[in-house]
Structure 1
Amino acid sequence: MINLIKNEFKKLLSRKSSFFMIFFIVIVVIFTIITSVLPEDDNNDHWKEELEEINKRAKENLKENDSDIIKNDFNKQISINEYRIQNNIPPYNNLDTWTFIDNMGGMIVIITIFTVVISGKIVTKEFSDGTIKLLLMRPISRSKILFSKYITSISYGFMLLLLLFIFSFLVGTFFLGIESKAPYIYFRDGQVQEMSMIHHVVLEYLLKSVDILIVGTVAFTLSIIFNSSSLAIVIPIFLMFGSAVLDPFLNEGISQYLLFNNLNLAQYFFGDNHNNEGLANSIIIIILHYILMIALSFYLFRNKEIT
């Protein structure tokens, strides 16, 4: 099994696209740190006055809006700004290594897309290149072959995530030092709370790794079902960005059980949705979908007729 996985990694790394993904992450991190540390005139001694003005406008907007969602967002903003003013925590000029790594967390969406591309192609490419027959002629079970491909594709996604974290840490430490300057501030349970930025960053990256695992698995399963890399790539990416748009048109009883509506586990840690039952339900739904996808992939591949 180990040799199978090694061979899959060799084939994966022989593609130019695999190195492009690594190169892209490195370039974006370097570009971001350079643009972040270049300005030297961004010190603002009047940030408290600015936040007070923002709160003043937010309170005026509260009176003009009837939407509970909009009012809730304005109240959060006002509470956080007041907390910063009272505790002398400016909203900027606090760039440090951990804040930089947190900012680079936006790249995890790109890494998830990279994982989708790899997972959607790793099996179908064998069919399009005509090498699947040679692969199946070896005295190795189809399940082991499929498992090695699955592990390779998902592991590569995790490796890209680890590269993002480690390289951002090294670059951030070189330019900004390792000391954490400010806590992570968020609104939860009806009040403003603080969390260590290091704790927040590590937890955020761990939670986002679930996206890489699940969305990559969706692409892998769809590639087995349709034997088409295009559909296996397009559908998961559409669901990643389109599920929030489609959600209002779906019955609430149905939408709460859909996979992509339960992937945002961060809401249970950093948002208002501090509900242990909700977190447990989301985890159960994710696990059930995951088991179903893996079982379906292996069943279809073992019984697929290769001509």
Structure 2
Amino acid sequence: MFKFMKLVANENMKIYRRPRTYVMLGLMLALIAAISIITYFVDDTHNTLAWNMIFTESMISYMLITVFTIIIASGSVADEFTSGTIKLLLIRPWSRSKVLLSKYIAVLLYALGMAVVMLLFSFILNTVLFGYQDVTASEVVSPLVSGSVAAYLLKYSLLKYVSLVVTTTLAFMLATVSRSGALAIGLSLFLILGVNSFAPLLATLKYKWADYLLFIHLDLTQYLDDAPMRDGMTLGFAFFVLAIYYVIFVGLAWYVFKKRDVAA
């Protein structure tokens, strides 16, 4: 187990040695800072709640994190084929499954790290600028929501991360199957950002099979406000549908990687 964790650590080093990793992090933090600082100087009444800013920036940032993680996930496998270093990986006494799993875990840790840094930075910055207010979720999110705003933010973040895991797995699978980072990034972004934008329209379909469409369930936060896109849909059912797609994506990636002559 310890040796496997060293393999995961090696994959993390590959991610954090590249300048693009820090450029993407810098862009996200700069955007958050810009939104908060501009709002602070524009709001003459100074009635802006820090929690309102945190939620606004979280929604924007999670979209950026999704795009950045897709880029990292797509390059994690495809870049090994492009540079030919995949052969060096397979010389080591590791099975192909463990090599692929280490890359997958490293990508998920990157996504988690980005989300944690984003939330902490946004919370600290907005608390400094606007002050800390002890408010409830109903005052910030919706009158239909009750409880602590911090607890709501935690649930919101967890559900966003689950969706991020599914999206990342899709990109990871496409990169593994195609061995092309550019194709995986382009196709993943098209599916997630393009097709997903039509999710509300897809939700209006009267057919039963529409209940099982991936894009209708990717935004799990719809269930926090008890406002699902389709009547009768529940969070449990959404998890079930996403789990089916997740197993398909993972299974396809592992099958192709193990069967392909990657050393050629």
Q: Is the 8 A contact 1:207 1:266 kept in 2?
A: yes
Aligned residue identity for 1:273: P
Residues 1:266 and 1:292: Cα distance change in structure 2 (over 3 Å):
same
For the residue of structure 1 that corresponds to 2:217, the secondary structure is coil
The answer for the alignment partner of 1:124 in structure 2 is 78
For the residue of structure 1 that corresponds to 2:117, the secondary structure is helix
Tell me, in whole angstroms, the C-alpha distance in 2 between the residues paired with 1:35 and 1:162: 23
Tell me, in whole angstroms, the C-alpha distance in 2 between the residues paired with 1:209 and 1:152: 15
Tell me, in whole angstroms, the C-alpha distance in 2 between the residues paired with 1:261 and 1:239: 12
Tell me, in whole angstroms, the C-alpha distance in 1 between the residues paired with 2:147 and 2:140: 5
Per-residue deviation, residues 220-271 of structure 1 (Å, max 9, x unmatched): 0011111111221122211222234375497732322122221121111214
Residues 1:178 and 1:142: Cα distance change in structure 2 (over 3 Å):
same
TM-score by length of 1: 0.76
Unaligned runs of 5+ in 1: 44-92
**CA apart distance, 1:193:** 4.7
Q: Is the 8 A contact 1:94 1:181 kept in 2?
A: no
Q: Superposition RMSD on alpha carbons, in Å? A: 2.2
**CA apart distance, 1:94:** 3.8
Aligned residue identity for 1:217: T
For the residue of structure 2 that corresponds to 1:287, the secondary structure is helix
Tell me, in whole angstroms, the C-alpha distance in 2 between the residues paired with 1:232 and 1:40: 42
Correspondence 1:304 to 2:260: yes
The answer for the alignment partner of 1:186 in structure 2 is 142
Of the three residues 284, 287, 292, the one matched with 2:240 is 284
The answer for the alignment partner of 2:40 in structure 1 is 37
Aligned residue identity for 1:7: N
Residues 1:277 and 1:262: Cα distance change in structure 2 (over 3 Å):
closer
Unaligned runs of 5+ in 2: none
Q: Is the 8 A contact 2:48 2:130 kept in 1?
A: no
Q: Is the 8 A contact 1:119 1:153 kept in 2?
A: yes
Moved more, 100-109 or 264-273: 264-273
Correspondence 1:245 to 2:198: yes
Residues 1:113 and 1:129: Cα distance change in structure 2 (over 3 Å):
same
Q: Is the 8 A contact 1:108 1:161 kept in 2?
A: yes
Tell me, in whole angstroms, the C-alpha distance in 1 between the residues paired with 2:210 and 2:241: 12
For the residue of structure 1 that corresponds to 2:142, the secondary structure is strand
For the residue of structure 1 that corresponds to 2:214, the secondary structure is coil
Tell me, in whole angstroms, the C-alpha distance in 2 between the residues paired with 1:196 and 1:270: 14
Residues 1:110 and 1:101: Cα distance change in structure 2 (over 3 Å):
same
**CA apart distance, 1:277:** 5.6
The answer for the alignment partner of 1:170 in structure 2 is 124
Aligned residue identity for 2:54: I
% identity of equivalent residues: 29
Tell me, in whole angstroms, the C-alpha distance in 2 between the residues paired with 1:213 and 1:16: 23
For the residue of structure 1 that corresponds to 2:219, the secondary structure is coil
Of the three residues 13, 16, 28, the one matched with 1:13 is 16
Structure showing greater radius of gyration is 1
Higher share in helix: 2
The answer for the alignment partner of 1:234 in structure 2 is 186
The answer for the alignment partner of 2:54 in structure 1 is 101
Residues 1:19 and 1:32: Cα distance change in structure 2 (over 3 Å):
same
For the residue of structure 1 that corresponds to 2:215, the secondary structure is coil
Q: Is the 8 A contact 2:75 2:175 kept in 1?
A: yes
**CA apart distance, 1:181:** 4.5
Residues 1:279 and 1:124: Cα distance change in structure 2 (over 3 Å):
same
Residues 1:193 and 1:278: Cα distance change in structure 2 (over 3 Å):
closer
Of the three residues 105, 122, 125, the one matched with 1:151 is 105
Tell me, in whole angstroms, the C-alpha distance in 2 between the residues paired with 1:267 and 1:293: 24
Aligned residue identity for 1:155: L
Q: Is the 8 A contact 1:186 1:271 kept in 2?
A: no
Q: Is the 8 A contact 1:116 1:219 kept in 2?
A: yes
**CA apart distance, 1:42:** 3.5
The answer for the alignment partner of 1:293 in structure 2 is 249
Q: Is the 8 A contact 1:8 1:148 kept in 2?
A: yes
